Amino acid sequence: MLFRKRNTTQSEAQGEEVKKSAPKGNAHYLSAKESREIAKSNARTIREFEKKNKVKHVDESVYTCEMKDENNIVEFDDLHTYFFTDAGVSKAVDGVTFSIPKGATVGVVGESGCGKSVTSLSLMRLVQAPQGQIVSGAIRFNMGDKAYDITKMPLSEMRKIRGKQIAMIFQEPMTSLNPVFRIGYQLDEMSLLHKKCTKEEAKAHSIEMLKLVGIAAPERVYRCYPHELSGGMRQRVMIAIALSCEPRLIIADEPTTALDVTIQAQILDLLKEVKDKIDGSVMLITHDLGVIAEMADFVVVMYAGRVIETGTTQEIFNNPLHPYTIGLQKSKPVVGRKVDRLYNIPGQVPNPIDMPNFCYFKDRCDRCIEKCNGEYPHFIQVSPTHRVSCYLYEDMQNKEGGSNE
Ligand SMILES: Nc1ncnc2c1ncn2[C@@H]1O[C@H](COP(=O)(O)OP(=O)(O)OP(=O)(O)O)[C@@H](O)[C@H]1O
Ligand code: SF4
Ligand SMILES: [Mg+2]
């Protein structure tokens, strides 16, 4: 069988230099021999990662770390999460660095497949194993009195944090809620697991949470199965489950995509309200710039597994710098602005198995300069909160005294 050709092998992904002869004939496909080599190499690499993941007793000092800034709840630091597939190594997250400040909402935007969900799943240690693995980098999580590097934690310890300290609201509640258990059972489970309370206390707390998320008949809904509820109610239940243990961080991965516009607005208001109530932080993943404008304090723009621009919401909306961010803004419909055709960014995201060694956006960029043929652009700090990875702003860095990471 033939697969599409790729440039990177698993061994290269781990830094080993492996030279392979390109297949003769059609350069876009892998030969059966190469496929076998990839499969063998994948099996070897995955075995090594899984061996590390399965270690149960790891001393706390191994994964205890220091936050770079105590005011952050999470710091992603050069995170690489790869998928070892039959066609080669898919670099889904390829060196992501950004922080989530305490009490803030950080919106993560970017087109489909740019690595938003994989970044959040890495934070929860829920990347689809064994093919998906955190290869390198750190994710520092502020526990209050200490900080942990989540990438080094044993899974048994991670289970104590998941749900209690970091909760996740998924895109499609029907697939996240278990269809064979009643809502009450799924809500009680959180309190019973993390709070060590009695069944009666858990039930009372669950009904309280259902009330908090605006469910009108909480006792009835407590006894319902997920299929008996509407989409909006199911998403409210998901939020109730997520908030049950008053987490320090809520990850909301496209929380309103499956809902109609009015319910969307209600769910977003609810999310804002409960965030303030528990004084937590939110990582809001969406491809909807309108949602970001309304909800987020800071914005992280991702493209092809990398962060390409970050800033406050005002900076990103009033002064977008990266040609990709500018393209995203132009492709957003605006009330009162008449256009024959909405702008769309030409071309496609490069194949994550076959990334170029220059700016990943170059093939779609209409503002290329000579330098863009060189290596991938470094970050340029244009203000204390605004940074961009693009050669067009090198002068700005010099004038404004920004730094180059
Ligand atoms: N289980 C998997 N196996 C192989 N590749 C995967 C897997 N999950 C994700 N990927 C790849 O990782 C890349 C990033 O995917 P991710 O789900 O993070 O995108 P996203 O930005 O969340 O997109 P969307 O907006 O569509 O949800 C994609 O190229 C995807 O194909
Ligand atoms: S570095 Fe060059 S190719 Fe990349 S976005 Fe900037 S101008 Fe475009
Ligand atoms: Mg996603």
Query: How is residue 69 written in tokens?
Result: 């800034």
The dihedral built from the CA positions of residue 4, 5, 9 and 13, taken in this order, carries a sign that is: negative
How many A from CA of 305 to the centre of ligand 3?
12
pLDDT for 18 equals: 35
The dihedral built from the CA positions of residue 142, 117, 113 and 26, taken in this order, carries a sign that is: positive
Ligand 1 mutation target, pool 4, 79, 90, 171, most atoms within 8 A of CB: 90
The CB-based long-range contact list for 377-380 (8 Å cut-off, 24+ gap) reads 378/404, 378/405, 379/404, 379/405, 380/404
The answer to whether 238 and 257 have CB atoms below 8 angstroms apart is: no
User: Does the bond joining 154 to the residue before it have cis omega, within 30 degrees of 0?
Assistant: no
How many A from CA of 111 to the centre of ligand 3?
9
At 295 the three-state DSSP class reads helix
Position 51, amino acid: K
- Per DSSP, the residues of 26-47 read -TTEE-HHHHHHHHHHHHHHHH
Interatomic CA distance for residues 150 and 138, integer angstroms: 7
pLDDT for 252 equals: 93
Interatomic CA distance for residues 233 and 226, integer angstroms: 9
* Ligand 2 binding pocket includes 304 (Cβ within 6 Å): no
Q: How far is CA 279 from CA 26, 98, 267, 271, 274, in A?
A: 57, 21, 18, 12, 8
| Smallest CA separation from ligand 2 atom 7, residue | 368
Alpha helix segments (H runs only) across 215-260: 218-222, 231-243
pLDDT for 28 equals: 61
pLDDT in tens, 1-51: 444 544 444 444 444 433 343 444 445 677 888 888 889 999 999 999 988
Q: Residue 136 forms beta bridges with which residues?
A: 80
User: Does the bond joining 130 to the residue before it have cis omega, within 30 degrees of 0?
Assistant: yes
Report the side by side order of strands in the sheet with 88-101: 64-65, 147-149, 132-142, 72-85, 88-101
pLDDT for 403 equals: 43
pLDDT in tens, 334-372: 777 777 777 888 888 888 888 888 999 999 999 999 999
Q: How far is CA 101 from CA 245, 283, 301, in A?
A: 20, 10, 16
Ligand 2 mutation target, pool 375, 380, 390, 395, most atoms within 8 A of CB: 390
* DSSP 8-state secondary structure symbol assigned to residue 162: B
- Spell out the per-residue pLDDT of the chain, length 405, in tens: 444 544 444 444 444 433 343 444 445 677 888 888 889 999 999 999 988 888 878 899 999 999 999 999 999 999 999 999 998 999 999 999 999 999 999 999 998 889 999 999 999 999 998 999 999 999 999 998 899 999 999 988 998 899 889 999 887 767 789 999 999 999 999 889 888 789 999 999 999 989 888 888 999 999 999 999 988 889 889 888 988 888 999 999 988 876 777 778 888 888 888 788 878 999 999 988 888 998 999 999 999 999 999 999 999 999 999 999 999 988 877 777 777 777 888 888 888 888 888 999 999 999 999 999 999 999 999 999 999 999 999 887 655 444 444
The answer to whether 265 and 297 have CB atoms below 8 angstroms apart is: no
Q: What is the largest CA-CA distance in the chain?
A: 70
Query: How is residue 326 written in tokens?
Result: 């500018």
The residue length of the chain stands at: 405
Question: Which ligand is nearest to the Cα of residue 320, counting in written order?
Answer: 2
| Angle at alpha carbon of residue 172, lines to 78 and 154, rounded to 5° | 40
Interatomic CA distance for residues 273 and 263, integer angstroms: 15
pLDDT for 276 equals: 85
Interatomic CA distance for residues 374 and 351, integer angstroms: 19
The answer to whether 332 and 320 have CB atoms below 8 angstroms apart is: no
Query: How is residue 356 written in tokens?
Result: 């170029």
How many A from CA of 386 to the centre of ligand 2?
17
Question: Which ligand is nearest to the Cα of residue 108, counting in written order?
Answer: 1
Query: How is residue 61 written in tokens?
Result: 């000092």
| Domain spans of the chain, in order of start | 3-53, 63-300, 323-400
What is the dotted CATH code of the domain comprising 63-300? 3.40.50.300
* Ligand 2 binding pocket includes 365 (Cβ within 6 Å): yes
Phi, psi of 62 (to 5 degrees): -65, -35
